[in-house]
Structure 1
Amino acid sequence: MIRRFGEPVQGDQKYRRRAGAYAVLWRDGEVLVTHKAAPVPEYQLPGGGIDPGESPVRALHREVYEETGYRIAPPRRLGAFRRFTYMPEYDIWAEKFCTIYLARPVHRLGPPTEPGHSAVWMQPEAAANLLGSAGDRHFLRQAIGLLRRG
């Protein structure tokens, strides 16, 4: 059973399934998150939708680069969750299937290439309180526990 976070499902609404790959990016005791300016300002785990024919890991590498400007080391899967939400940037109601990975940012190639995104380094606990998605917060807290234990 995949855990669900966020808004309750609206029975009269049709949802389009949208798979995505997202990462907890950890280095030297800090996490790298993205701040998305619009349509609603929000801190998020870097990542996004998987394009047709694209593997989740390839999508993760592409999305992390677009939203942070960083290349990452090979990621490790932490888990997955579902979220039902309206996505105003696409004008769709979506059932998001979010796969979460843990990865290390290894090389910054430049600023984010995706408009309206900025990369922000934070203390993990601060980020866990600021992320806009309950699923993102859950998996960041899980990663904090894993990494601090050893």
Structure 2
Amino acid sequence: MIRRFGEAIQADQRYRLRPGAYALLVRDGSLLVTHQQEPVPEYQLPGGGIDPGESPLSALHREVFEETGWRIDVMRRLGAFRRFTYMPEYDLWAEKLCAIYLARPVRAHGAPREPGHSALWMSPEAALRELGNAGDRHFVARFLGVAR
């Protein structure tokens, strides 16, 4: 069973499955996170949707690069969570199936290419406070060995 976080499911709404891959990017005791300006300013684990025909790991490499400018080395899959939400940038009610990976940022190649995104380093403890969704926070807490 995959744990669900976030908003309650609205019985009168149809949700479209939106699989995605996201990374806990650890280097020198800090996490590399992304800040998305639109539609609502929010700190997030880098990653995003898996395109049709794309593997989860290919999507993870692509999305992390677009959102942070970093190339990564994926170490292992940590787990997954589901979240039901409205995505205004796509005008879509989505059932997000989020696979979370532990990865290491290897090399920066410049600024994020995704409009409205900025990459920044923060302590895992700060990430527990600042990340915008409970699923992301859950995996940071597990990484730290903190019960939530």
TM-score for the superposition, normalised by structure 2: 0.97
- Identical aligned residues as a percent: 73
Residue in 2 that maps onto 1:29: 29
Query: Which secondary structure state, in structure 2, belongs to the residue aligned with residue 52 of structure 1?
Result: coil
Q: Distance in 2 between matches of 1:101 and 1:145?
A: 16
Matches within 5 A, 1:103-122: 103-122=103-122
1:4 aligns with 2:4: yes
5+ residue gaps, structure 1, are none
Partner residue, 2:132? 132
Cα pair 2:74 2:101 within 8 Å, conserved: no
1:145 aligns with 2:145: yes
Aligned to 2:40: 40
- 1:59-70 correspondence runs (5 A): 59-70=59-70
Partner SS state of residue 74, structure 2: coil
> Where has structure 1 moved over 3 Å in runs of 4 or more?
none
Question: Cα distance, 1:140 vs. partner?
Answer: 1.1
What SS does structure 1 have at the residue aligned with 2:126?
Answer: helix
Please name the residue that 1:71 is paired with. Answer: 71
How many Å apart are 1:142 and its aligned residue? Answer: 1.0
Report the Cα distance in structure 2 between the residues aligned to 1:74 and 1:129, rounded to whole angstroms.
25
Contact 1:57-1:75 at 8 Å conserved across structures: no
Measure the CA separation in 2 of the matches of 1:75 and 1:57.
11
TM superposition shift of 1:145: 2.5
Secondary structure of the residue aligned to 1:75 is: strand
Aligned equivalents of 1:87 and 1:11: distance in 2? Answer: 17
Q: CA deviation at 1:128?
A: 1.2
SS in 1 for 2:59: helix
Q: How many residues align?
A: 146
- The one-letter amino acid paired with 2:119 is A
- Measured on the aligned residues, the alpha-carbon RMSD in Å equals 1.0
Q: In 1, Cα distance between the equivalents of 2:7 and 2:74?
A: 32
Separation in structure 1 between the aligned mates of residue 130 and residue 20 of structure 2, nearest angstrom:
21
Structure 2, unmatched stretches of 5+, are none
Secondary structure of the corresponding residue to residue 132 of structure 2: coil
Question: Deviation string for 1:23-57 (max 9, x for gaps)?
Answer: 00000000000000011000000000000000000
Are positions 1:80 and 2:80 aligned together?
yes
Instruction: Tell me how far apart the structure 1 counterparts of residues 75 and 34 of structure 2 sit (CA, whole Å).
Output: 18
Residue 141 of structure 1, CA deviation = 1.1
Q: Is the 8 A contact 1:71 1:109 kept in 2?
A: yes
